[in-house]
C-alpha cells in the first residue's frame, strides 16, 4: 500500500460471524486508514451489512478483533456450543484476550457513527429534533438539570450547533417538518446529518445510494467527498452501485458469500476476474 505511514482508524482482523451453521462473514480483515474513503462491495447477500453490524456492536462476532484508533473495541472467540460448531479460521487466536462485547451506543460514543440501509429516522419528531437528539449523548446534563431547565446554556449551544449543521446540509428549510415527510433523497441526507451530529471520527455508510437514480448518485458522491473534507472524516461505506464506489473510493474490498475475494485500488478491482464473475452472476437478477 502506498500510504503505509498513515494511521489506522479502523482495523478489522479475522472477523467471523456464524449463525448456527451458516457463516455469514468469514475471516474478514480490513484496514481503513485515516482520511480515506474505503468501500466494501459485493453482490446481494454477501454479508456486507453483517460485517457492519459486527463493527458497530449490533452483533457480537463469533471470532475476531476490531480495533478503532489502535484501541480494541470488539474482541471475540467461539464459546459454548459454538466451540464445536465453529467452521471458520483461527479459533484459538483470541482465546487468551479479554473479550469485548460493547453495545451500539458505546461504539457511537467512541466516535463511529453509522447510517442504515433502510432509512431509520425517528418518525414522530421533526427534522430539527432528529439531529438535535444525536447530540444528546455528548451532553453533560442529567435528568434533573434537563427537566428543571438548569441546562439552558448547553441546550442553547446544542440547538445552535444543530441549526448550523442543518444549514450546511441545506435542510434548514424543512426544520419543523416531520422527518418522514421529506423526499427520499433528503431523508438519506438527513440521516447522514444526524450521524455527523454525534461528532464522529469514522463514518459508516450502509448503501447510501440505494434507490437513487444516476443523477442523484453522482450528487451523493460529491456530497460524501465534501463532507469528508469539511469534517475531517474517514469514511467506510457499503455499496453495490459500482458507479458510486468507483467514483469516490480510495481502496476497495470485495466480498462474496462472506469471504474476501479481492482488495485493492479501483483499477485492480475492476480488472479482477473473480470480481467480474461475482458481479456478472447477479447481473441477471437485476
Partner 1 sequence: MVNQTKQKKTSWIALLCVAALLLLVIILENLSAWTGVKGILAPTSQLFTVLKKAAVYSLVAVSMNLLNGFTGLFSLGQAGFMLLGAYTYAILTVPAAAKDQVYYLYGGSAIRYSVIDLLGKLFGSSGAGGAVSLILGVLIALICAGLVAALFAWLIGLPVLRLKSDYLAIATLGFAEILRAIFQWQRLGPVTNGANMIKQFPTFTSFNIKNAAGREVLRLSTFVPFLVAAACIFIIVLLINSSYGRAFKAIRDDEIAAEAMGINLFRHKQLAFVISSFFAGVGGALFAMYVANAQAKVYTSTMTYEILLIVVLGGIGSISGSCIATFLYVAASEWWLRFLDVETVLGNGFKVPLLRNGFRMVVFSVIIMIVVLFFRQGIMGDKELPDLLRRRGRQSKSAAAEETEGGHG
User: Could you list the residues that contact partner 1 (CB under 8 A)?
Assistant: 56, 58, 103-105, 108-109, 113-114, 116, 120-125, 128-129, 132-134, 136-139, 141, 143, 146-149, 151, 155-156, 158-160, 163, 194-195, 198
Specify whether the CB–CB gap between 29 and 90 falls below 8 A: no
| Closest residue by Cα to residue 63 from 24, 16, 23, 99 | 16
Which lies closer to partner 1 via its Cβ, residue 141 or residue 218? 141
**Residue 108 C-beta: closest distance to partner 1, Å:** 4
Which lies closer to partner 1 via its Cβ, residue 99 or residue 160? 160
- Buried-exposed string 252-273: b where 16+ CB fall within 10 A, e elsewhere: bbbbbebbbbbbbebeebeebe
**Residue 144 C-beta: closest distance to partner 1, Å:** 10
Which lies closer to partner 1 via its Cβ, residue 116 or residue 231? 116
Specify whether the CB–CB gap between 234 and 7 falls below 8 A: no
**Residue 63 C-beta: closest distance to partner 1, Å:** 24
C-alpha–C-alpha distance, residues 162 and 90, integer Å: 45
Which lies closer to partner 1 via its Cβ, residue 90 or residue 155? 155
The answer for residues whose C-beta is within 8 angstroms of residue 84's C-beta and 6 or more apart is none
**Residue 33 C-beta: closest distance to partner 1, Å:** 24
Which lies closer to partner 1 via its Cβ, residue 126 or residue 218? 126
**Residue 157 C-beta: closest distance to partner 1, Å:** 11
Sign of CA dihedral 269, 206, 128, 135: negative
Which lies closer to partner 1 via its Cβ, residue 172 or residue 219? 172
Sign of CA dihedral 73, 221, 214, 128: positive
**Residue 154 C-beta: closest distance to partner 1, Å:** 9
Query: C-alpha distances in angstroms, 122 versus 54, 87, 180, 218, 241?
Result: 23, 39, 8, 27, 27
Which lies closer to partner 1 via its Cβ, residue 26 or residue 53? 53
**Residue 138 C-beta: closest distance to partner 1, Å:** 8
Amino acid at each position: 500500500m502506498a500510504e503505509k505511514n498513515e494511521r489506522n482508524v479502523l482495523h478489522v482482523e479475522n472477523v467471523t460471524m456464524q449463525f448456527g451453521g451458516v457463516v455469514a462473514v468469514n475471516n474478514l480483515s480490513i484496514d481503513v486508514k485515516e482520511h480515506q474513503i474505503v468501500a466494501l462491495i459485493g453482490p446481494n447477500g454477501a454479508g456486507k451489512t453483517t460485517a457492519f453490524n459486527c463493527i458497530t456492536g449490533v452483533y457480537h462476532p463469533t471470532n475476531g478483533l476490531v480495533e478503532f484508533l489502535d484501541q480494541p473495541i470488539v474482541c471475540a472467540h467461539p464459546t459454548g456450543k459454538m466451540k464445536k460448531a465453529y467452521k471458520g479460521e483461527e479459533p484459538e487466536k483470541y482465546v487468551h484476550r479479554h473479550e469485548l462485547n460493547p453495545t451500539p451506543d458505546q461504539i457511537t460514543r467512541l466516535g463511529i457513527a453509522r447510517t442504515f440501509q433502510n432509512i431509520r429516522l425517528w418518525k414522530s419528531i421533526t427534522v430539527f429534533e432528529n439531529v438535535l437528539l444525536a447530540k444528546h449523548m455528548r451532553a453533560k446534563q442529567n435528568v434533573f438539570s434537563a427537566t428543571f431547565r438548569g441546562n439552558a446554556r448547553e441546550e442553547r449551544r446544542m440547538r445552535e450547533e444543530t441549526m448550523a449543521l442543518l444549514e450546511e446540509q441545506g435542510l434548514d428549510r424543512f426544520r419543523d417538518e416531520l422527518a418522514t415527510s421529506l423526499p427520499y433523497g433528503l431523508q438519506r441526507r438527513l440521516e447522514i446529518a444526524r450521524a455527523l451530529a454525534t461528532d464522529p471520527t469514522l463514518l459508516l455508510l450502509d448503501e447510501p445510494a440505494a434507490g437513487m437514480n444516476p443523477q442523484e448518485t453522482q450528487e451523493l458522491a460529491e456530497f460524501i467527498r465534501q463532507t469528508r473534507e469539511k469534517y475531517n472524516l474517514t469514511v467506510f461505506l457499503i455499496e453495490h452501485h459500482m458507479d458510486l464506489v468507483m467514483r469516490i473510493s480510495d481502496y476497495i474490498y470485495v466480498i462474496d458469500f462472506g469471504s474476501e475475494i479481492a482488495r485493492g485500488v479501483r483499477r485492480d478491482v475492476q480488472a479482477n476476474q473473480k470480481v467480474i464473475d461475482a458481479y456478472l452472476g447477479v447481473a441477471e437478477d437485476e
